[in-house]
Amino acid sequence: MLLADDPPTLAPDPAAEVEAELVAQLQLGNEAAFRTLVERYQDRIYRLTLSLLRSPEEAEDVAQEVFVEVYQTIGRFRGEAALSTWLYRLATSRALKNLRRARAKKRFAYFTSLLGFGNDVLHEVPHHAHPLALLEGQQQLGLLLHHIARLPEPQQVAFTLRHEQELRYEEIAAVLNTTVPAVESLLFRARKTLRKHLQPHFRHV
């Protein structure tokens, strides 16, 4: 019988124990553990990078880079966040880096073409590159993806993690290394901006 001053006994978290053992095996260089990691998370990481990059080929490359980075740096993982959170952070960081590089190349090509250097202006990834574009209403979907991609990066990432990855607010806050109220603010502003641009095209928005 517990006395009033006795601290409550917390039941062990089986999922946390399994993750801790996986991390321990990864840090020992266990190849089977690395295969388990890839099998467990590769689809989620690919879907996240695809949601941000809108290009299957580029998303696959970035997802592979994420797992290579995990393999190379797992020894520095100290468990301050969940393993899945760390993976999402790596994937988000690499995807955004690719987006910034692509935008810089596009701006450079545009200005050099104005100067008569003969460079072709780069074009955005076609909307049909995203699997969702196979759905009905392709034109409206393309418009939606276009405006999501134009959101400020923090809003775009928060919106993608919430509505395409279906992460909880607490998980998004952990990925972005911020607070739940900050995530709520990002999502509020993202939805407000999207409503503004999409209202004339989507009556139900």
DSSP-assigned letters across all residues of 57-84: HHHHHHHHHHHHHHHHHGGG---SS-HH
- Sign for the CA dihedral angle at 108, 110, 115, 117 comes to positive
Tell me the per-residue pLDDT of 82-113, one tens digit each, with 9 for 90 and over: 999 999 999 999 999 888 766 555 544 433 34
3-state SS, residue 39: helix
How many residues does this entry show for the chain? 205
pTM for this model (two decimals): 0.67
Class of domain 127-205 as given by CATH: mainly alpha
CA atoms of 185 and 63, how far apart (whole Å): 28
CA atoms of 112 and 118, how far apart (whole Å): 7
CA atoms of 11 and 8, how far apart (whole Å): 10
Residue 201 carries which DSSP code? T
The answer to whether residues 165 and 48 touch, using CB atoms and an 8 Å cutoff, is yes
The pLDDT value recorded for residue 12 is 55
Architecture label for domain 14-125: Orthogonal Bundle (1.10)
The pLDDT value recorded for residue 138 is 60
Q: What percent of the chain has pLDDT over 70?
A: 71
In 39-187 the beta strands, taken as DSSP E runs, fall at none
**pLDDT tens per residue across all 205 residues of the chain:** 444 555 555 555 677 788 889 999 999 999 999 999 999 999 999 999 998 888 899 999 999 999 999 999 999 898 888 999 999 999 999 999 888 766 555 544 433 343 344 444 333 444 444 544 444 456 667 778 888 888 999 999 999 898 888 889 999 999 999 999 999 999 999 999 988 888 776 554 4
All residues at 6 or more sequence positions from 172 whose CB lies less than 8 Å from its CB, including other chains: 158, 161, 162, 183
Report how far apart, in Å, the C-alpha atoms of 179 and of each of 4, 167, 173, 191 are: 34, 14, 5, 19
In the chain, where the domains are located = 14-125, 127-205
The pLDDT value recorded for residue 200 is 75
The pLDDT value recorded for residue 198 is 81
Tell me the per-residue pLDDT of 56-76, one tens digit each, with 9 for 90 and over: 999 999 999 999 999 999 998
